[in-house]
C-alpha cells in the first residue's frame, strides 16, 4: 500500500533515510553511491534531506565528523582557540577524518535542487543567511538548488529580499553602533547581495514590478541599488 505522494512506500522512505544517513560516510565511494540512490528514490528522500540540512544549520558551530569517528566538539569562540583546537584535532583524529558540516550542507543543497524540492526553499534561504562570508560574492550550492527548483521558488526569495530591505531601513532609522549592531549590518548587506544574485540566476522577469517598487520607494540604499542593477540585468536578458 503506498505511503506518501506518487506511490512512495514505507520501504522507499526507509531506504531514503538509510541513504541520507550514508552521506556521513568517510568512504567517498559510499557517499557517491548514496547520492545516486537518493536521486533514484526521489520525493521519499526530501524529508530526511531537509532534516539533515536543518540539523546542520541549527548546530553549524559544532565540529561534525564522518561516521567512523562520531564524536562532535563545540567550536571555541576566539580565532586563536579555533586554530589551536583544529591543530590538536588534526593530530588526534584518525587519518582521513575530516570535519563534515559544510560538506553535508553542500551535498544536501545539491540533492534538494536536483529533486526540485519546493518545500526546501525556506531552508535553502537559511543557508544563504548563515554561510560564512569569504569576501567574494559567488554562486553557491543553495543558489543553484533554487535555480533548479525554478520559478516557484521566486516569491519566497523576493519576499526575503524585501524583508531584508525593510530591516536595512529600520537599522538606518535607529542605528546600532555596538559591535554586534555593526556586524548585523554587514550580515544584512551580504544577505541582500546573495538574494539579488539568486534572483538573477533564476531569471524571472515577472519580479521586475516588485523590484521597481523597492528601487523607487525603498529608503534602504543598498537594497534599492541592488534592485536597480537587477532590473537592468533582467531587461538586458529578455530584450
Q: Using one digit for the tens of pLDDT, what is the confidence trace for 199-224?
A: 999 999 999 999 999 999 989 999 99
Listed ranges 61-75, 90-104, 129-143, 225-239; the one with the highest mean pLDDT: 225-239
pLDDT(104) > 80: yes
pTM: 0.82
- Residue from 148, 147, 108 nearest 127 by CA: 108
* Angle at the Cα of 138 from the Cα atoms of 192 and 96, rounded to 5 degrees: 120
Report the largest interatomic distance among the alpha carbons of the chain, rounded to a whole angstrom: 60
pLDDT of residue 80: 53
The mean of the pLDDT values for the chain is 85
pLDDT of residue 1: 32
Name the 3-class secondary structure at 94.
coil
pLDDT of residue 64: 79
Contacts of 109 (CB under 8 A, 6+ apart): 53, 124, 127, 140, 141, 142, 144, 145
Residue 90 pLDDT level (bands cut at 50, 70, 90): very low
- What distance lies between CA 226 and its chain's CA centroid? 20
Calculate what percentage of the chain has a pLDDT beyond 70: 83
- Residue from 30, 34, 4 nearest 19 by CA: 34
Q: What is the mean pLDDT of residues 85-89?
A: 47
pLDDT of residue 116: 97
Q: Could you give the CA distance from residue 49 to residue 111 in angstroms, rounded to a whole number? A: 8
Contact yes or no for 50/120 (Cβ under 8 A): yes
Q: What is the mean pLDDT of residues 142-162?
A: 96
Name the 3-class secondary structure at 174.
coil
pLDDT of residue 8: 80
pLDDT in tens, 21-77: 999 998 889 999 999 999 999 999 999 999 999 999 998 888 777 766 444 444 444
pLDDT(128) > 90: yes
Q: What is the mean pLDDT of residues 175-188?
A: 90
pLDDT of residue 134: 72
Residue 2 pLDDT level (bands cut at 50, 70, 90): very low
Amino acid at each position: 500500500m503506498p505511503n506518501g505522494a506518487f506511490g512512495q512506500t514505507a520501504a522507499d522512505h526507509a531506504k531514503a533515510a538509510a541513504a541520507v544517513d550514508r552521506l556521513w560516510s568517510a568512504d567517498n565511494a559510499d557517499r557517491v553511491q548514496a547520492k545516486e540512490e537518493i536521486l533514484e528514490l526521489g520525493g521519499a528522500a526530501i524529508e530526511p534531506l531537509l532534516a539533515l540540512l536543518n540539523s546542520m544549520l541549527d548546530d553549524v558551530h559544532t565540529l561534525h565528523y564522518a561516521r567512523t569517528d562520531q564524536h562532535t566538539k563545540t567550536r571555541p569562540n576566539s580565532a586563536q582557540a579555533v586554530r589551536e583546537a583544529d591543530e590538536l584535532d588534526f593530530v588526534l583524529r584518525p587519518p582521513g577524518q575530516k570535519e563534515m558540516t559544510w560538506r553535508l550542507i553542500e551535498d544536501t543543497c545539491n540533492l534538494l535542487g536536483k529533486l526540485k524540492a519546493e518545500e526546501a526553499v525556506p531552508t535553502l534561504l537559511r543557508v544563504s543567511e548563515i554561510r560564512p562570508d569569504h569576501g567574494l560574492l559567488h554562486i553557491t550550492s543553495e543558489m543553484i538548488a533554487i535555480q533548479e527548483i525554478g520559478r516557484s521558488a521566486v516569491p519566497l526569495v523576493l519576499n526575503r529580499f524585501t524583508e531584508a530591505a525593510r530591516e536595512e531601513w529600520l537599522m538606518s532609522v535607529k542605528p546600532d553602533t555596538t559591535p554586534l549592531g555593526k556586524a548585523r549590518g554587514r550580515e544584512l548587506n551580504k544577505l541582500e547581495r546573495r538574494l539579488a544574485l539568486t534572483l538573477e540566476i533564476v531569471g524571472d522577469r515577472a519580479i521586475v514590478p516588485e523590484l521597481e517598487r523597492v528601487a523607487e520607494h525603498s529608503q534602504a540604499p543598498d537594497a534599492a541599488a541592488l534592485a536597480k542593477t537587477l532590473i537592468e540585468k533582467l531587461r538586458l536578458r529578455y530584450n
